[in-house]
Chain A
Amino acid sequence: MVAAAFSALAMMETEEAQIATGLRRRDPEVLDALIEQYQHRLLRYLVHLTRDRATAEDLFQETWIRVLEKGHQYDGKSRFATWLMTIAHNVAIDHLRKRRPVSLDEMRDAEAAAPFEPVSDGPSPFEQVSALEDRARIQAALEQIPPIFREVLALRFQEQMKLEEIAKLINIPLATVKTRLYRGVMALRPALMGGGE
């Protein structure tokens, strides 16, 4: 089991090193493959940050351009996904600052375009209606919480990132990540618990 873990770690290191080499060379094949591999995860993260699909798509492209430009800075020692999300975070912050000088906390009344697509749950009409209701409820609950909490929840639950990785990515202290996670969970709680009634 330990040997398998070491082998997986070594494989990951090799993969990350290959990505780093490809990025240093600005290899189009490597970039195409990365865009394809991380397309959904990156877009999802940006949608979580901006709550607007159109903006998220613009930032998605901008993020990859920045990956190309800053590729030589990626050393292959950390996970590429974390580095990519850090770039995306910075691109989003730059965009929000340019658009209007407010903090992420205030980005709560953004356009209510449907940024999310539900996972297909099942074919029965009852299940479909139920899934739609759940989706609306959960979406409403997520929209109610400030983006700084939503971002931590997304990185933790969707990207399965460690708390230390999140802290590094957002450039905040570990204690702040824990607080945001706690507050995010507690902010979602009333809406999610109330949904079953």
Chain B
Amino acid sequence: MNGHEHQRAIDLISRREIEGVTEAEARWLQSHLAECTECSEYELAMGSAEQAVRSFTVMATGSLMASTQARVRARAVELRERESRRFLVAISFAVGVVFSTLSAWAWWKLGGWMVERFSLPSAIVGPGVVFFWLLPAIVLGVLLMAFPESSFEGSVMQLLMKDRQRGIQ
């Protein structure tokens, strides 16, 4: 008998109960155990260990259950609110970008006209055009940071978010 056979026997003993072994493997194991004291002792030890581990039970108390469920529910509400706000910010950013893009041409033309009409230096007009171009996004960003989420309750945005959540659910 060599080390490889012991290794195989131990592997089969370990797998027998849950993964299962083939009939041929079971026969081989039986014949090996009949001859090998070391492996049959391991088989016995495995049975005892299983019995020992399974003989214990730990019960969760009702209060643990209740407090866990309450904590999980509270956290779920918190996450939902956070997600709503993130959605609101994303929508606002998108709206800001759309407005900025659509108005870019108009601001550029207006800037050109002002340079011509009032003979303004382009060093002032250039940054001015960029500022007005970004204005919608800046205004939306400031509003979102300035007002808490509750301020948006009942707003079109809030209704949009609720619809989205209903859609997800």
Q: Do A and B come from one complex?
A: yes
A28 touches B76 (CB 8 A): yes
A40 touches B58 (CB 8 A): yes
Chain B residues positioned under 8 Å from A55 (CB to CB): none
Cα distance A31–B168 when bound, in Å?
17
Cα distance A112–B64 when bound, in Å?
21
Chain B residues positioned under 8 Å from A154 (CB to CB): 53
Chain A residues positioned under 8 Å from B86 (CB to CB): none
A156 touches B18 (CB 8 A): yes
Chain B residues positioned under 8 Å from A25 (CB to CB): 168-169
Chain B residues positioned under 8 Å from A47 (CB to CB): 58
The smallest beta-carbon distance between A105 and chain B, in angstroms, is: 19
The smallest beta-carbon distance between A8 and chain B, in angstroms, is: 16
A163 touches B67 (CB 8 A): no
* A: number of interface residues (CB 8 Å): 53
Known: A25-B169, A32-B69, A153-B49. A60 touches B76 (CB 8 A): no
Of the candidates B46, B50, B55, the one whose C-beta lies within 8 Å of that of A118 is B55
Chain B residues positioned under 8 Å from A79 (CB to CB): none
A57 touches B64 (CB 8 A): yes
Name the residue among A65, A142, A157 with the largest chain B CB count within 10 angstroms: A157
**Secondary structure dominating the interface of B:** helix
A119 touches B49 (CB 8 A): no
A36 touches B75 (CB 8 A): no
The residue on B at minimum CB distance from A187 is: B49
Kindly specify which of B7-15, B132-140, B144-152 makes contact with the partner chain. Answer: B7-15
The smallest beta-carbon distance between A181 and chain B, in angstroms, is: 6
Q: A56-B58, A182-B10 are in contact. List 18 more A-B contacts (CB 8 A).
A: A31-B72, A35-B72, A39-B60, A40-B60, A60-B60, A69-B75, A69-B79, A117-B58, A142-B53, A157-B54, A161-B18, A162-B18, A178-B14, A182-B14, A182-B42, A188-B45, A188-B49, A189-B41
CB within 8 Å of B: which residues of A? 25-28, 31-32, 35-36, 39-40, 42-44, 47, 53, 56-57, 60-61, 64-65, 68-69, 115-119, 134-135, 138-139, 141-142, 153-154, 156-158, 160-163, 178, 181-182, 184-186, 188-189, 192-193
